[in-house]
Amino acid sequence: MPMAAVVWFPHSHRLCFSSSTLFHFPSLCLPRFTPTTCIPLLYTTTAPHHPLQPPTSSPPFSPHYQTHPELVISTIKSVSRKTHLLQIHAQILRTTLVEYPSVSLRFLSRVALSGPLQDPTYSQRFFHQINHPLVSHYNTMIRAFSTSHSPQKGLFLYQDMRVRGIAPDPLSSTSAIKCCVKFLYLLGGVQVHCNVFKDGHQSDTLLLTAIMDLYSQCRKSNDACKVFDEMPRRDTVAWNVMISCCIRNNRTRDALILFDVMQSESWRCEPDDVTCLLLLQACAHLNALEFGERIHGYVMEHGYGGALNLSNSLMSMYSRCGCLDKAYEVFKGIRNKSVVSWSAMISGLASNGYGTEAIEAFEEMLRVGIRPDDQTFTGVLSACSHSGLVDEGMSFFDRMSREFGITPNIHHYGCVVDLLGRAGLLDKAYQLITSMVAEPDSTIWRTLLGACRIHGNVALGEHVIGHLIELKAQEAGDYVLLLNIYSSAGRWEKVAEVRKLMKEKAIQTTPGCSTIELKGEVHEFVVDDVSHPRKGEIYETLDEINKQLKIAGYVVEPSSELHKIDDKEKGYVLSYHSEKLAIAFGVLATPPGTKLRVANNLRICVDCHNFMKIFSGVYNRDVILRDHNRFHHFSGGCCSCSDYW
């Protein structure tokens, strides 16, 4: 006689199924039951019957019970253990409740989307046991796969439902697009986009926003903009995706413009905290302090000031704009500072050249009981590197693993290589790289190559380039560094060889670009720029600045020009670097004594560095310049880096 298992359901109903039933579903891995086994699945206000006491109501598997699937649905909602769901699964199959869409959909949602009970593989097996799945069943499974490690399966299901003649709804296509986003499958996304027009869903805001996100993530900003422009309605999420697209695709200035457009009379869409986070990131990238202060004001006016992630982003923005006093004000105002808050403050001090202060902040963090993480050590090691604190940096590198149990990653090794390289300890830096447990990547070798350029070590520089070629990771910047090394050593024949090689490989260098923000508007310049509407005035102002600085002792540094031309020609070329054009525009457009803030996408050259120092003294203007590596605070003829950068 087959054994029976008893499972408690609400209202004192007991659902029984025989061991022969379990035999037909061995994959469910159900526990072995005895005739008196009773498993409570749900706590109710009604005391349950004793396992051996017969129920007073109708038999649980009578036709009467099978017409009440809401009892099963109620139990599915309440269970919290996987074993109980397995038993319910067996019961659903035993009583053909699997054909009730309300029951099967509730169970499928529980195992496909519900946190700790989520199991895509198991939910797919249950899905295939449904003979006539509806669009809601497909939507649940596609959505589940869109957040899993197998997003391709979601696309297969989307295709399957179309083949079976089940018309997708906007939610189906939205989840399918999210599957494409998961593994950046642009072609699949384009196909779904085509089906959206075929199905007549091109007015669904949520769906179009997902399509925008796909194009954005796949670096197709023009396509994303086209979808955005054609949207009949735009909510805040759609605007946020568009702003994110601009930032991701190097259209950061456009991201700032969108902040004003979305609040205009035409759209009247209110930015939220996510909008503020994105715009703070854009301000940090562009060195747009005034715009960042606007966002800060908006954050406080709309009650977002208590959000820790926004406070951390504000700190990062102010630090990236060289405004440490305001970054520190935000830091002091955070009630419950996290390790992210402390790390942001330490990194801000580091990038602005305040190495000693960064170390003091690290020690204070330890005193208040905050345990550092790997990002914290990246910040403090960077601080030591930019300030030439070799002994302190090596001590922190040792303490990472010995005291805090943090295994150094590639970023930490990069900081230490930079620390040793800047200090001229190139051999030690090379030994550290060769002793790494992990395989050194191109960034590590590139850091050492930069140190070779600083100290003019031709032999080691050539050796490092060899490693980059082996990794097939050489970039235009690597060849520029090598050109610097050869030109500084007067090896012009090598310079010619490298230029010829770059031409053969069609390697294009990144042009220097500088930005300066005035009255909330970001102005951009490149070398010999003639695109600015006030170009004539700018060049006249720059010529006058050069005359005044030469009287004060400024001499062009010809080594900053990599071409083999005479010093007079080099002086002309160097006179119109993008940083100098930005400074000239700042002098032209602001009152005397105004502090100027300039951001450059490359490392500042020696000539421009000398120019800025003398300019700050002659014109009595402070200049804060952020280059690719760090900040330089010029004041009174001196720089915060003490010529160590």
DSSP 114: S
**Range of lowest pLDDT (6-20, 158-172, 479-493):** 6-20
Question: Could you read off the pLDDT of 301-327 as tens digits, one per residue?
Answer: 999 988 999 999 999 999 999 899 999
Q: For residue 597, give the nearest of 609, 615, 579 by alpha carbon.
A: 579
Q: Among residues of the chain, what percentage have pLDDT more than 70?
A: 87
Find the range with the poorest average confidence among 20-24, 157-161, 503-507: 20-24
Is residue 146 over pLDDT 70? yes
Q: What is the pLDDT of residues 367-407, one digit of tens each?
A: 999 999 999 999 999 999 988 899 999 999 999 999 999 99
Helix (H) or strand (E) holding 478: helix 476-488
**Residue of 479, 449, 469, 451 whose CA lies nearest to 461:** 449
CA–CA dist 604, 585 (Å, integer):
18
Annotate 224-263 with b (16+ C-beta within 10 A) or e (fewer). bbebbeebeebeebbbbbbbbbbbebebbbbbbebbeebe
φ, ψ (nearest 5 deg) of residue 624: -110, 115
Residue 287's pLDDT is what?
86
The mean pLDDT of 349-372, rounded to a whole number, is 93
pLDDT of residue 474: 67
Q: What is the pLDDT of residues 56-67, one digit of tens each?
A: 333 333 344 444
One DSSP character per residue, 534-578 reads: THHHHHHHHHHHHHHHHHTT----GGG--S---HHHHHHHHTT-H
**Looking at the predicted structure, is the pLDDT value of residue 154 above 80?**
yes
Q: Which of 12-21, 70-79, 212-221 has the lowest mean pLDDT?
A: 12-21
- Can you tell me the mean pLDDT for 230-241? 92
Residues in the chain: 645
Q: What is the pLDDT of residues 414-454, one digit of tens each?
A: 999 999 999 999 999 999 999 988 888 888 998 998 899 88
Rounded-to-integer distance, Cα 488 and Cα 466, Å: 20
611-623 tens-digit pLDDT: 999 999 999 999 9
pLDDT at 21 over 90: no
Alpha-carbon span 527 to 542, nearest angstrom = 13
Helix or strand run (H / E) with residue 624: strand 623-626
Choose between 596 and 528: higher pLDDT.
596
Spatial distance between the Cα atoms of 433 and 435, rounded to a whole number of angstroms: 5
pLDDT in the model for residue 561? 65
Q: What is the mean pLDDT of residues 635-642?
A: 89
Rounded Cα gap, residues 50 and 58, in angstroms: 16
DSSP secondary structure code for residue 643 in this structure: T
53 band by pLDDT with thresholds 50, 70 and 90: very low
Residue 6 vs residue 196, higher pLDDT: 196
Distance of alpha carbon 87 from the chain centroid: 42
Nearest C-alpha neighbor of 317 from the set 346, 280, 353: 280
pLDDT at 30 over 70: no
> In the predicted model, is pLDDT for residue 55 greater than 50?
no
